[in-house]
Amino acid sequence: MTVIVNLIKRNLKLFFRDRASVFFSFLAVFIIIGLYVLFLGNMMVEGFGDVLGDDARFIVDSWIMAGILSVVSITTTLGAFGIMVDDKTKNILKDFLSAPFKRSQLAAGYVISSFIIGVIMSIAALIIAEIYIVINGGSLLGFVPLLKLLGVMLLSVFAGTSMVFLIVNFFRSSNAFSVASSIIGTLIGFLTGIYIPIGQFPSAVQTVIKSFPISHAASLFRQIMMEAPMSKAFANAPAGAITDFERTMGVTFFFGDKGLSPLINILVLIATGVVFLVLAIISMSVKKRQ
């Protein structure tokens, strides 16, 4: 246990000491916020102004910030696992394996430190999101919604960590990892339905987005963060209007006329975390025998 704790401390120090790693792991978030502030935000507020009235800005801000929280669970853990790739590239991993360390201890050190980094950065993103929402006339989350949000955040980071851990197992050079990180950072906004609301995509693309596990975290984040402003904006609206809006914006995922419950979203995240973690462990075991 002491070995794992020391490895976790070492990885955390390496990550947060490297300001470039911290910045680039947050780069996708900065890009999304920049696009939203400069272009997407006003367009969406104007587009929904007739439907949402004075609450349009609060709802749209909550929608985009909820999506950003889901993105962070992938991009920051991806940046954290860059330490593992660097250790492979510089043969530091071989030095560790020649020491009295078990491969499982090394893996645990990388996974747990990446999870911790993902949670820390997600909390930082949440603080930024809440400040942005309040500055634009919205209100802070209540205590209970905040607890729910933190719970979903832990599940989202767990799923993201497991997915990235499996992917990183196949990289042995920093250059290849950097290229892959850039591609993932570009695609993640589309896969979580941030740049364009999911309802505006063709049905085939919608199915792809709904099949991406972290998009279920985005759905849960939206349900929590948009609950207060939506209850006010749709207070006198028919139930069909709320359903159509939730379907279009990806607040709730629908398959046909059946909307997924939050429990299904949660189970998807848990199953994703467990399955990908097991696959990553199997992958490491196979490479060990080779």
At residue 284, the pLDDT reads 75
DSSP 143: H
> What 3-state DSSP class applies to 178?
helix
At residue 133, the pLDDT reads 92
**Residues 6+ away with beta carbon under 8 Å from 225:** 62, 63, 65, 66, 141, 145, 149
DSSP secondary structure, 125-157, as one string: HHHHHHHHHHHTT-----HHHHHHHHHHHHHHH
At residue 74, the pLDDT reads 92
**pTM, entire model:** 0.91
Name the token pair of 283: 């992958």
Q: Match 């933190």 to its residue by tokens.
A: 150
At residue 85, the pLDDT reads 87
Bridge partners, 254 (sequence order): 259
At residue 89, the pLDDT reads 84
The residues spanned by each domain of the chain are 2-289
At residue 49, the pLDDT reads 67
pLDDT along the chain (290 residues), means of 10: 86 88 78 78 74 82 91 90 87 72 83 94 92 90 94 96 91 82 82 84 90 94 93 81 88 88 96 93 69
At residue 227, the pLDDT reads 92
